[in-house]
Amino acid sequence: MAFSSAADLDRAWDLGVFYLKTPDELNLEDPRDFGRSLLAADSPYRAITQYGELEGFIALENNQQTKLALRRHHWDLHYPQHIAEFGRCLDSFGIAIIREVLHQSGIPENLWGRASAGYATGAGTAFLNFVHYDTHVSAWGLRPHTDYGFVTILDAIAPGLQVEIDGAFQDVPVLPGHFVINFGEALRFITAYSARPVGAVTHRVVGQKATDPVRHGIVYFANPDLDGALWQFDANGDSGGNSSVQKLFAMLEKNLTEDIHENRMG
């Protein structure tokens, strides 16, 4: 991972959002086709097993976004093999990105696994989601929110994403050949006492119109284990605090589906 300048890296880490060039050998067309196939009313994935509130074929209340969402340990069971393998490829990107953040944070490497409830050392969990926006619903594409995990990898081929910079939302133009990477609350939390804290960017997707081409996206979330705890360390390896993952998740889900005026996270 390389930035064109030290200032660019600083800005990316402060805001918690940047573009990442996709490797030329990465096949994105097949996963995109898989995502498009979910639009068919008779797609078997529309009747997939639901696991709790976060996994399955889900239409979010008060949002146009509709998604097929599965955690890593369910990929082989439900996704076609090439999609499960694509997910593992994104795992390698997610792990490389969090390890770069932790490297710069100064947190001693032997604590990275504990800080991240396993993710940085190959455990933890991840979601591989295929999303689209249902224009029969009159609502935000996706309400303003911060992500709850560590790192989000987004492949979107149509406009609509906006990020909040200095108090104002700005378009994130589609840049062919690039993912949009953003940092989430869990990463902000674990780096908060370190030598290089990072931001978690607030973002949203504007409401899509029926006349727009259907907006698809592939979203990978690098996450801690749901039952785990996140630890904050400084560069000396001393702990500044910890939090259960459940607590953080519950708050953020609420922000996304309820009225945001009072309870948006700072």
Q: Which residues bind Fe ion (CB under 5 A)?
A: 147
* Residue 92 CB neighbours (<10 A): 10
- The DSSP result for 233-265, as a single string, is E-TTS-EEEEEEHHHHHHHHHHHHHS-HHHH--
3-state secondary structure of 15: helix
* Listed residue (193, 204, 156, 192) closest to 176, CA to CA: 156
Phi-psi region of 154 (alpha: psi -120 to 50; beta: other; left: phi over 0): beta
Main-chain phi, psi angles of 121, to 5 degrees: -115, 25
Rounded to a whole number of angstroms, the minimum distance from the CB of residue 203 to Fe ion is 6
Task: Determine the residue with CB nearest Fe ion.
Answer: 147
Q: By C-beta, is 66 or 194 nearer to Fe ion?
A: 66
Shortest approach of Fe ion to residue 153 CB, angstroms?
11
User: Between 134 and 147, whose beta carbon lies closer to Fe ion?
Assistant: 147
Based on CB atoms, which residue is closest to Fe ion, 114 or 143? 143
Length reported for the chain: 266
Least distance to Fe ion from the beta carbon of 183, Å? 11
Residue 56's DSSP bridge partners are 69
Q: Which two tokens stand for residue 87?
A: 């997910």
Closest CA to 196 of 6, 5, 54: 6
> Residue 208 is encoded by which pair of tokens?
């899509």
The residue (of 60 and 95) whose beta carbon lies closer to Fe ion is: 60
Least distance to Fe ion from the beta carbon of 249, Å?
A: 13
Q: What CA–CA distance (Å, rounded) separates 19 from 9?
A: 11
Q: How far is the CB of 159 from Fe ion (least distance, A)?
A: 16
Which CB atom, from 106 or from 144, has the smaller least distance to Fe ion?
144
User: CB of residue 7 vs Fe ion: minimum separation in angstroms?
Assistant: 26
Closer Cβ to Fe ion, 193 or 220, answer by number: 220
The terminus-to-terminus CA distance of the chain in angstroms comes to 29
Distance CA(95)–CA(150), nearest Å, equals 10
Question: Which of 111/165 has CB closer to Fe ion?
Answer: 165
- Smallest gap from residue 242 Cβ to Fe ion (A): 24
